[in-house]
Amino acid sequence: MSVVPRLMTLADLSGPQINRLVNHAHHLKHLSMPWLTPQHATKKKSNLRMPSQSLFNKSIALLFSKRSTRTRIAAETAAVLLGGRALFLGSNDIQFGVNESPRDSARVIGGMCQGIFARVGAHEEIEELARYSPVPVLNALSSFWHPTQVLADLLTLHEHAHLFSPDTLVPSPTKPLPPLRPLTIAYVGDSANVLHDMLVTYPRLGHKVRVATPPQPQYNPPKPVWDRVIELGCDKHIVWSNDPREAVKGADVVVTDTWISMGQEAEKAQRLKDFAGYQITEALCREGGANPDWKFLHCLPRKQDEVDDEVFYSSRSLVFPEADNRKWTIMAAFDLLFGKWDVTGEKTLKGVQ
């Protein structure tokens, strides 16, 4: 019997496997877009190719214990395009975490659905789900990791590779994504799940990561996360400081995230105090020596304390293409993990259908 695949973090994949997922998202995006245009805009839809229908007649459980906009919409619409259906199972809808253990819930849900996309609190919850689920489990967000967000960021950067290298052509729907030149990617903010997947991903793809977090120990990555960073050799390509200006030095891309995650509302006053001076502005990046044409990413939702309107709504900002790409990278992960049980590409290499 096949081992049930899972994807908890991009640390679980090699660099080539991550690139395969991103390129597959690009492929699915351009197969799907003509089907989503108004009927009159494409005269001969009968001549169009369908995207993969690997989820035909399949159901994917969206097991969400936290609110979601982008992740939920991306997952529900991606499942439809793959021929399947997504069932939203919110924290007030089912017994999971109330009257039923993750182990029992995993077995029951996995007995009726063909995949579980779980957005949880503590990372231990999704590990337990994956341990006992008879179907693949994909991490939609946990306290440690956020793999689908960094996949969307990567797709967005590749689609805009021409902004970082003038000799790079704008991507074509019929060709593979253009490669990215080695970038310096700065992160200014809390050491949270998005940053953690950045730390185990970008260095293995040839990029440098520069980070600024407040000096208090609670803003450092948890030990299990940093252990994975070291295990993968990524720490050699990471510069860490407590000075946002130092972090953005030479940056091609500047990234931030929420300072107050769901469940941390009681800490708001202290966190705002700790993050004073961390707002992304033109002045901060100019004073820190970011590259003149630096671009900005944020996973959303955004608050003005984190980045001002001048940057957020400027031509530097790629946040809305980044949000759009949540759909296509989640679709790629659903297709390969839930539909084909081949997120690593090993079955494809072996010729297994």
Task: Please name the residue ranges forming H helices in the chain.
Answer: 15-32, 70-81, 102-112, 123-132, 147-159, 193-199, 223-231, 244-247, 268-274, 282-288, 309-312, 319-333, 346-350
pLDDT beyond 60 at 353: no
- Using pLDDT thresholds of 50, 70 and 90, give the confidence band for residue 31: very high
Residue 231: count of CB within 10 angstroms of its CB:
11
Nearest to 331 by CA among 80, 118, 7: 80
Catalytic residue numbers read 299
146-201: per-residue pLDDT in tens? 999 999 999 999 999 999 998 888 877 778 899 999 999 999 999 999 999 999 99
pLDDT, residue 38, reads 86
pLDDT band at 46 (very low <50, low <70, confident <90, very high): low
pLDDT score of 334 more than 50: yes
How far apart, in whole angstroms, are the C-alpha atoms of residue 194 and residue 145?
Answer: 6
Count of CB atoms situated within 10 Å of the CB of 57: 9
The amino acid at 224: P
Q: Helix, strand or coil for residue 162?
A: helix
pLDDT, one tens digit per residue, over 291-326 is 999 999 999 999 999 999 999 999 999 999 999 999
**pLDDT tens per residue, range 261-296:** 767 778 889 999 999 999 999 999 999 999 999 999
Angle between helix 319-333 and helix 147-159 axes, rounded to 10 deg: 120
End-to-end CA distance of the chain: 15
Q: In 62-168, which ranges are continuous DSSP H helix?
A: 70-81, 102-112, 123-132, 147-159
What digits encode the pLDDT tens for the residues 116-155? Answer: 999 999 999 999 999 999 999 999 999 999 999 999 999 9
Which residues, listed in sequence order, are joined to residue 210 by a DSSP beta bridge? Answer: 186, 239
Q: Distance between CA 74 and CA 57 in Å, rounded? A: 19
pTM of the full structure: 0.95
Residue 265: count other Cβ atoms within 10 Å of its Cβ: 9
For 132, 244, 250, the CA distances from 4, given in Å and listed in that order, are 10, 42, 43
Q: How confident is the model at residue 101 (pLDDT cuts 50, 70, 90)?
A: confident
